[in-house]
């Protein structure tokens, strides 16, 4: 079975060179791909080459600001790309028709990235070529009552 692979050509601003050469691997616009997720919910980010523990990845360009929208203004199908800030306010991509790759990071209870700032992550265990890049959505700071059940669970997905 062939999988649809969408190569994302990230500008240097989106990856921000990730400290240039880090731990023997250079992080470039060719370091990540979007493809069907190993999790049951759509598209994910996959490593195009090995990325070592300790590498710092900047997914947002300098000065990038996600936008805050009222929940009533977001079509239901698009809420999955946003994070709740309160019952009414949601942090969303600047544009849904041109989303930065970071919005495609899926959740795992045993992730390989840890969020250390807005759009900035540290690799907490080696990521193999072809492995999905994941984070723990509980690090997003959403109010507990607005978290979705699949990342409240104890079992890894």
In angstroms, the CA 133 to CA 123 distance is 9
Q: Considering only CA atoms, which of 59, 65, 66 is closest in space to residue 32?
A: 59
pLDDT of residue 68: 95
| pTM recorded for the entire structure | 0.76
Residues 131-152 have pLDDT tens digits of: 999 999 888 887 888 887 777 7
pLDDT of 23 over the 80 cut: no
Q: Which long-range contacts (CB under 8 A, 24 or more apart) does 17-21 make?
A: 17/58, 18/55, 18/56, 18/57, 18/58, 19/55, 19/56
Q: Which domains does the chain have, with CATH numbers?
A: 6-61+100-136 (2.170.270.10)
pLDDT of residue 114: 95
pLDDT of residue 21: 41
pLDDT of residue 118: 80
């Amino acid at each position: 079975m062939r999988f649809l692979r969408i190569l994302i050509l990230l500008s240097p601003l989106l990856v921000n060179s990730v400290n240039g050469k880090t731990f023997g691997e250079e992080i470039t616009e060719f370091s990540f791909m979007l493809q069907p997720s190993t999790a049951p919910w759509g598209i994910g980010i996959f490593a195009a080459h090995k990325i070592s523990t300790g590498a710092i990845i900047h997914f947002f360009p300098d000065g990038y600001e996600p936008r805050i929208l009222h929940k009533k203004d977001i079509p239901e199908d698009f809420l999955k790309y946003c994070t709740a800030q309160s019952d009414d306010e949601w942090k969303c991509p600047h544009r849904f028709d041109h989303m930065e790759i970071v919005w495609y990071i899926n959740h795992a209870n045993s992730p390989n990235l840890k969020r250390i700032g807005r759009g900035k992550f540290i690799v907490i265990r080696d990521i193999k070529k072809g492995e999905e890049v994941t984070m723990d959505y509980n690090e997003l700071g959403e109010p507990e009552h607005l978290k979705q059940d699949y990342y409240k669970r104890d079992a890894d997905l």
